[in-house]
Structure 1
Amino acid sequence: MQSAATGHIRTLLILSVTARLAAWALVSISAYVLPLFDASPSICIGGTSPSSILLRWDAFHFAHIAREGYVYEHEWAFFNGLPLLMRVSAHMQALVGFGSNDWTTLLRGGAGMAVLCDSTHVLYHLSLHHLRSPSLAFLSAALSIFSSSPTALRLASYNEPFFTYFSYRGMLACARSKWAAASICFALASIFRSNGIFLSGFIPWGMLVTPFLAGRKDLLTPRHILKCVLLTALPLIPFIHHNIIGYLQFCMPPTSHIPNWCTSSLIPLIYSHVQSEYWNVGFLRYWTVSNTPNFILALPALVHIFAFCWFYLSNLPAIVPHIVPQIPSKNTDVTPPPRLDSPFLAPSLLPHVLHALALTLILTFNAHVQISLRLLPSVPLTYWAAARLMLDLPKWGKAWVTWSVLWGALSCVLWAVFLPPA
């Protein structure tokens, strides 16, 4: 198995590099041949340098925060992880005489660091742990090459590469019962995206829920519970810190004008205020006729997750006996539960199913639905579901791969000419 894993990792590395080069080539050619819908990148950078294709959509906000800090209220929708990395990279480039703190240097640095956060091999090891099959682990990781948002995940200075990498790392640490490492990885993921706080749920699931369901209540000592609480709290710190700094900046003297959000809610959160005020985020707010095209674009990614969650949860009665041990009675012996029909019904996948379902519900009903195209790839269940389709429902599996390739290529072209979604 070790030799097979080594070969798989090597092949996945080649595929990942090829996918990055293909995305870069397609975006570069499209940017050169097609006119920009918005000329802002050319104005900020000047000319048509290779780095100008990195400056689209949220990259403007990240680069501006990296240069100037949080100047405008709406910028507080973006966490400081990526701008911090961009500044560090810019300083490193300046030390070797290769740039300064300008747009090009920041964008180039962010994209370069994103390359180092290739998560394909991490997904392979995580899949190997849960699916117990090198071939299925390789298939799942290989399918992740066909991302629904190749520019955000493999090309641009965006949060997604870093968030996905640290999410996968933390999940793998949980699978190996390395709880402190998992907490640190989830905290690092939370520096880049607010939904990193939901990752902390994997820790109490593994440390408390799993032993409780398995009948190992002897493990649930006060010291163990306290350790779990502390490790669960760590990934929440970036979100709390972000909102505290925002509160101190906008709501405390010597501020001349105190915004309404500082006093209008029990817990004033600048992040929630900005998302609601500037991005119109809220329950069913995005459910309008004008947003129908965005729902159509996101539909394959959403249905893909919902379908797998239905498949798994509908088989929960067969899975539960593998999680909760049977208690023998005086007159009967304990019979082992029947073998599960599919490796994709592994009991260890249950927390991943619940996490993916919760996130997909939020994206569907409470967010800009099109961001699911670049956020759901951070959920490994996306690719386990795809591997299951390839194995059990090959026609649907081929349809999913075809959609991923075609949409991924089209999204590169749309990114190049500065058209949504992004």
Structure 2
Amino acid sequence: MRTQRKSSQCHEDYGISYGVKESIKILGISRVVIFLLQFLSTLLLPEFPTDAFKNDFNINDNCFLSKTIFQLLKGYSRWDGQHFMNIAKNGYKWESTLAFQPLYPTIVSLFSRLVPFVSEDAGILLVGVIFSNICFIMTGILLHYIISHIFLINSYTRKIAIIIFAYNPSSIFFSSIYTESLYSFLTFFGIYYLYMEQQLYKSVIGTSIIFSLALLTRTNGILNIGYIGYKLLSLWMSEKVTTRRFAGLLVLSFVILTLPLRIYEYLVQKNFCFQEPSSIMVSPSNDGKYIYPGDLKNLSWCPVTGYYVPSLLLPSFYSVIQKKYWDVGLFSYWQFKKIPNFLMAGPTILYTFYASKFVIMKTLNIKSYSTIILPIRSLLPFSIHSSFLALMAIFIYNVEVSTRILFSSNPFIPMSLAILFSTTYKQRWNNFPFDLVWNENLINLYFCYNLFLFAIGTIGHCIWLPYV
């Protein structure tokens, strides 16, 4: 009996090990495809004219390696990538750069100093691309483990989920000088640790630390507190923790999660608000649109008290800068010229609402309300999180970034879409929220849409078309 159990365990471990290798292969091939698309598009197609911010790169004509790096990888440095490369090289020199969180450019800056024989700009580009792709592969591995260990989904459905994630419509951003890969890695890692760590204090504190790093990568990481709250609430409803302990741990997790952001906010206020105006820095294409530290007349978010004033959630400067430079605000994006952006993002947003509806309705149909959020394998927190982000895309932030935000913020879309594709999974778990068959043609159509944007979006982004 013991021998049989040991043999079964070995077989299971082998299956998981083989599955990981298969997932890595799928993820790796997708990165090769992305590289070829970006390289060929920059080599063969002209750049689209744009007034977007661009760095004056020091390629160093005498350095063959630097020129080669830029020739091979320049498609990865478009749009926000220009800002991140500028921050990695120069730090936060003017107001608009504060829209970008510090963790990603800081890591890239530190490791780029270790790259010999190339210019500083080439080193930043090389390190940024390598780092983003490593984070992407690690995120895919975490998705594999979340599916296998937490939701216990079979290998066929898991493989489909990995393929959907690898070839998602915003895949170019997961390889570029963008925060998507690092943010998704930290978020998926936090989710996995939260579910798998059995000791409550270690689970809550460890996850809070991981999520705090995600928050230093992207501001929407503040929503990750919901996953910790979900676990604590489920334990409280099952009477495994007291009300006092539930409230105490939730407050502690919030403090830990936001503490690094408060430190960053303090440093920003110190550098921008509490010093003498800096001398005007000479910058390429500087036409007076840059607002530098100490220019209190134009830094409207600086506290009038003259000393640091912490915010409760996001830094005081963030919403001001997003509105000022990117026109982010309630209904601000509802313009006729933006209709193509809504149409492009529409299928992913509609699918998010569709999938979330089944999860939420299935949950609400449970007659015993004390068991609504107890099952650890429930997709409820993921569906709520994704639905909220989708609603924000429609009403507040720039809708064209919604696909990359939705795919990088949690594993809901790859998992739910894979289950819709899979018929074998329904045989294992008939009560799954997607047991109602979705129209097969719509599923195939949405999958084709993802593949279309995977290719066309990558090409367009790399030649400066507004696929951001």
TM-score normalised over the length of structure 2: 0.78
The residue aligned with 1:44 is 57
In structure 1, the gaps of 5 or more residues are 326-336, 338-344
**What is residue 69 of structure 1 aligned with on the other side?**
91
* Pair 347,318 (structure 1): closer, same or farther in 2 beyond 3 Å: farther
Q: CA deviation at 1:204?
A: 2.1
Residue 276 (1) aligns with residue 323 (2) = yes
Deviation readout 1:115-134 (Å, 9 max, x if unpaired)? 22121111111122443222
Aligned to 1:220: 242
Partner Cα separation in structure 1 for residue 384 and residue 107 of structure 2: 32
Distance in 1 (CA, whole Å) between partners of 2:317 and 2:45 is: 39
What is residue 359 of structure 1 aligned with on the other side? 389
8 Å contact 2:45–2:463 — kept in the other structure?
yes
Q: Which residue is 2:165 aligned to? A: 144
List per-residue Cα deviations over 1:290-326 (Å, max 9, x = no partner). Answer: 111111111011111111111111222334638529x
Number of equivalences: 396
Q: Structure 1 residues 277, 411: closer, same or farther in 2, change over 3 A? A: same
Render the CA deviation track for 1:60-85: whole Å, top value 9, x for unaligned.
Answer: 11111111111110110001111111
Pick from 182, 193, 197: which aligns with 1:162? 182
Match of 2:205 in 1: 180
Mapping 1:286-305, distance limit 5 Å: 286-305=333-352
Deviation at 1:158, TM superposition (A): 0.9
Q: CA deviation at 1:365?
A: 1.0
CA distance in 2, matches of 1:140, 1:134: 11
Structure number having the greater helix percentage: 1
- What is the CA-CA distance between 1:418 and the residue it aligns to? 1.1
Secondary structure at 2:178 match in 1? coil
Q: Secondary structure at the match of 1:260?
A: coil
Equivalent-residue separation in structure 2 for 1:45 and 1:299 (angstroms): 40
Which letter does structure 1 place at the counterpart of 2:43? Answer: Y
Structure 1 residue 206 corresponds to structure 2 residue 231? yes
- Residue type matched to 1:170 in 2? G
Aligned match for 1:311, one of 358, 361, 366? 358
Q: Per-residue deviation at 1:113? A: 1.3
Equivalence map 1:15-414=2 (5 Å): 15-38=26-49, 44=57, 46=59, 49-93=71-115, 97-100=116-119, 102-117=120-135, 118=137, 119-135=139-155, 136-153=157-174, 155-177=175-197, 178-207=203-232, 209-216=233-240, 219-220=241-242, 222=244, 225-255=247-277, 257-258=295-296, 259-262=299-302, 269-319=316-366, 321=368, 324=371, 348-378=378-408, 379-391=410-422, 392-393=437-438, 394-414=440-460
Secondary structure of residue in 2 paired with 1:410: helix
More deviation, 136-145/116-125 = 136-145
Residue identity opposite 1:261 in structure 2: W
CA deviation map 1:162-190 (0-9, x unaligned) = 00011101111111242232112211111
Distance 1:249 1:171, change over 3 A: same
Tell me the distance in 2 between the aligned counterparts of 1:221 and 1:279. Answer: 42
Find the aligned partners of 1:399 and 1:320 in 2 and give their Cα distance: 36
Structure 1: distance between partners of 2:274 and 2:262: 17
Specify the code of the residue in structure 2 equivalent to 1:193. Answer: R
Once the two structures are TM-superposed, the CA of residue 227 in structure 1 deviates from its matched residue by 3.5
Does the CA-based 8 Å contact 2:102-2:217 persist in structure 1? yes
Q: How far, CA to CA, are the matches of 1:323 and 1:130 in structure 2? A: 22
CA contact (8 A) 2:212 2:258 kept: yes
Most deviating of 224-233 and 14-23: 224-233
1:369-421 superposed Cα distances (whole Å, 9 cap, x missing partner): 11112111112111122113313433332222211111110011102211111
Structure-1 separation of matches of 2:265 and 2:349: 30
**Contact 2:27/2:162 (8 A) holds in 1:** no
SS in 2 for 1:418: coil
Deviations 1:38-93 (A, max 9, x none): 49879625566213222210111111111111111011000111111111111121
* Preserved CA contact (<8 Å) 2:87 2:105: yes
Query: CA 1:98/1:134 → structure 2, altered by over 3 Å: closer, same or farther?
Result: farther
Structure 2: runs of 5+ lacking an equivalent? 1-11, 60-66, 198-202, 278-293, 423-436
- Cα deviation code 1:120-169 (max 9, x no counterpart): 1111111224432223333322321121112111x211100000011101
Percent sequence identity is 22
The 3-state SS of whatever aligns with 1:295 is: helix
CA 1:323 to 1:108, structure 2 compared with 1: closer, same or farther past 3 Å?
Answer: farther
